[in-house]
Amino acid sequence: MPTARLRNNLINVASILVFLLPHVLTPSSSTAESVEKNMLKEDIKPSGWICELCPHTKGLHGRFELGSAYISDDSFKFGDYRGLEDKGPYAIGEIDLRYWGKGNSYWEMLGSDLGLDSRSLKIEGGQQGQYEVRLAYDLLQKQGDDSGKSPFLGSGGTNMTLPTGWTRATSTGGMSQLTNALRPMPIAHERENTQFGFSYLLTPQLKYVLDYRRERREGQGLHTGNFIIFTSILAKPIDYTTDEIDASITYTNKQGLLSLEYYGSFFDSQHPSITWENPFTPLTTGGDRGRSALAPDNQAHQITLSGTYQLTIQTQASGMLSFGRMTQDEAFIPSTINANLVGPLPISSLDAKVNTTRLHLRLHSRPRAKLTLNLLYDLNNRKNKTARKVYDFIESDTFFSDTRTNIPYSFQRQNIDLKSNYRFGRRKRFSGGLNYEIYKRNFQEVSKTEEKTVWIKISASGNKGKRPVSLEILHADRDGKRYRGTDEIETFQNPLLRKFNLADRTRDQARLKFSLTPHQRLNVALSSEVNSDDYKDSVLGLTGSDRLNIVIDVSLLLFENGSFYTLFSHEKIKSDQAGSQSFGAPDWFAHNRDMINTLSSGFSFSNINGLWNVGLDFTYSKSIGAIEARTLGRTAETFPELKTRLYSARLSANYQINPRLTMKARYFYEAYKTRDWTLDGLAVNTVSNVLASGAESPNYKVSVIGLWFSYALSKD
């Protein structure tokens, strides 16, 4: 950020109260996306802090926190999940209250980010060992993009029309009214989640639990409206409600437990379809409007019986058996909105039915003091009972194509897994395992695949667990029956093409972890993983993939109350694919290369003069994606690189005014820059047959600064 702008931001926010929470003591992730997910929640804990969750004292305990945040600039992307997208002040508060009464009665209230568009509140209470009641509410903002534009009136609704006087054309360049008709088309939605539940101990052995959740999503999402070769980027409405019920009863005794559970999910969409006017010259009479179905209402139910049983002192068995049913009976919308086309439907709704069965059995045994064995069997069966019908297929409300039949996909997956662990002395272990998977499918190019996996792991450490090191090696081989189109469906694919999830594949993987403590104040940890996939029989499609990941983590105890850390991660992913323009042998090849580097460092000092806690964190992350394409007989061509850079710095300071009142200052700066050739420079009319949104890849620089206060009801 330029010096002048930074100076102005500091002047503007000098009197605003705020907080930002850094991950001061320990970085939670090496990836950039988790750097600030909870930036307004954490706090530096002084040395010797007391567990606030432990019922150590009767009465009311906890704290209130109140402040205000100031954001230096508007940024839709920065506000994603944070509720901090607009420039200006924000009132923010937090509550953490706990009460312990007589007879083990208690209640607690936890509120986070109160005052923001993304906030949460949880209340629960009861009597330990007898019952508990729970209430929870949270609100989350998902910000997609606010740089897109659209000429449609009613954008984001169910009926999108063109402005009066719109002149259709065969290309976006011929749409004379387009520029003046453009208006903002923000893509974002809000998720509101409400929960209620209670637990009740009927007897010392019998416990009942009931939980109910309702999730509401409202906003706008991206949708494409097509007319054969012409496409419009639209904003569809998001207006969903999902109700979920979890109920269980559990019996426990000295030898094990047995639980019976019911789960139900009910999805309700307020809008079955959207319609839009065709901004292009219609290809056929009546092709001036289009219609598209949205997500249908549906239900899911599942009953599960699970339990564990101690067979002997050395051996324990556990298992789970569940039966589920998913249904969808939403009424069909007409097959076309074009009055000049006739597309009768064979039935009024799909009347979809899918039955599921899941069986999970596990045997854990320790036949010798140094030997541990685990045997697992897992069955996952999905049976699609939806009836097959023949439908007249009308291509994008333009012309009658042919007939199509719905395909009720089903599968059965069985997995047998054997693991063993043997300890040599006190500091050496040898582990290994075998896994065998059988995957059966219908209406697929491969009806059956078998995958065999073998792995070994060797680990050792020095005296008192010092210098631990481990090496794990894995080899997996997946083979399928003859790859072909089935008799039930036509694949319309090149016979040389292999889908990567069905193709024969060999996988080799190695993991190394090492930790060194050259000094009692210094610890260095290294981990590395190498993965190589070879699609040995794929002439067309994904032919190979390699991945390398290295993480170095260094922590240093500077003084009794000071610490420093630095973490660096490097990830590189390579993949190769082959294709054919002639529906024959491969005649073009693509090589994809992705690299992600992340550096995170910081230090903290606590209990300075018994009054101060300070911390500083810095994170830098950079990713580069490169694609090279080569056609036979031509020089290789390279696409523009996809680049993302993230810089963030967090400075925090706490001052203990008195034993109950703490003043907390926070400053946070984040700069995010992307370069995406699929968006950058692509205006609404750049592509002649695509009415795009003109959205741009996100770039921003945002500062947040301020002050907040925390008041504790009791002394620590």
Cβ atoms of 445 and 488 closer than 8 Å: no
Q: Return the bridge partners of 208, or none.
A: 200, 249
pLDDT digits (tens, 9 = 90+) for 172-201: 999 999 999 999 999 999 999 999 999 999
Q: How many CB atoms lie within 10 A of CB 197?
A: 17
Answer yes or no: is pLDDT of 490 > 80.
no
What are the CA-CA distances from residue 167 to residues 170, 174, 178, 279 (Å)? 10, 9, 9, 8
Average pLDDT over residues 29-55: 40
pLDDT score recorded for residue 716: 54
Answer yes or no: is pLDDT of 27 > 90.
no
pLDDT score recorded for residue 56: 53
pLDDT digits (tens, 9 = 90+) for 103-160: 889 999 999 998 888 999 999 999 988 999 999 999 999 998 999 999 999 999 999 9
Answer yes or no: is pLDDT of 475 > 60.
yes
pLDDT score recorded for residue 196: 97
Cβ atoms of 616 and 49 closer than 8 Å: no
Cβ atoms of 435 and 475 closer than 8 Å: no
Number of domains in the chain: 1
432 domain residue, yes or no: no
Answer yes or no: is pLDDT of 532 > 90.
yes
294 domain residue, yes or no: yes
Average pLDDT over residues 575-584: 94
pLDDT score recorded for residue 585: 93
640 domain residue, yes or no: no
Answer yes or no: is pLDDT of 458 > 80.
yes
Angle made by CA atoms 661, 665, 670, in degrees to the nearest 5: 150
29 domain residue, yes or no: no
Separation CA 665–CA 649 (nearest Å): 14
Q: Return the bridge partners of 427, or none.
A: none
pLDDT score recorded for residue 22: 30
Residue 270 belongs to domain spanning: 148-161+185-424
pLDDT score recorded for residue 54: 54
pLDDT band at 457 (very low <50, low <70, confident <90, very high): very high
pLDDT score recorded for residue 491: 60
22 domain residue, yes or no: no
Answer yes or no: is pLDDT of 1 > 70.
no
Separation CA 496–CA 535 (nearest Å): 13
pLDDT score recorded for residue 21: 29
pLDDT score recorded for residue 488: 56
Burial 142-170 (b: 16+ CB within 10 A, else e): bbbbbbbbbbbbebbbbebbbeeebeebe
Q: How many CB atoms lie within 10 A of CB 634?
A: 10
Smallest CA-to-CA distance from 277 within 393, 187, 183, 155 is with 155
Separation CA 239–CA 409 (nearest Å): 28
343 domain residue, yes or no: yes
278: three-class secondary structure by DSSP: coil
Answer yes or no: is pLDDT of 25 > 60.
no
Phi first, then psi, for residue 463 (nearest 5°) are -60, 140
Answer yes or no: is pLDDT of 435 > 70.
yes
Answer yes or no: is pLDDT of 311 > 80.
yes
pLDDT score recorded for residue 427: 83
* Sign of the C-alpha dihedral computed for residues 481, 484, 489 and 492 taken in this order: positive
2 domain residue, yes or no: no
pLDDT digits (tens, 9 = 90+) for 613-650: 999 999 999 999 999 999 988 888 999 999 999 999 99
pLDDT score recorded for residue 630: 93
616 domain residue, yes or no: no
Q: Which residue is listed with tokens 């719109």?
A: 166
Comparing 22-36, 54-68, 126-140, 671-685, which segment has the lowest mean pLDDT? 22-36
pLDDT band at 591 (very low <50, low <70, confident <90, very high): very high
Q: How many CA atoms lie within 13 A of 28 on its CB side?
A: 13
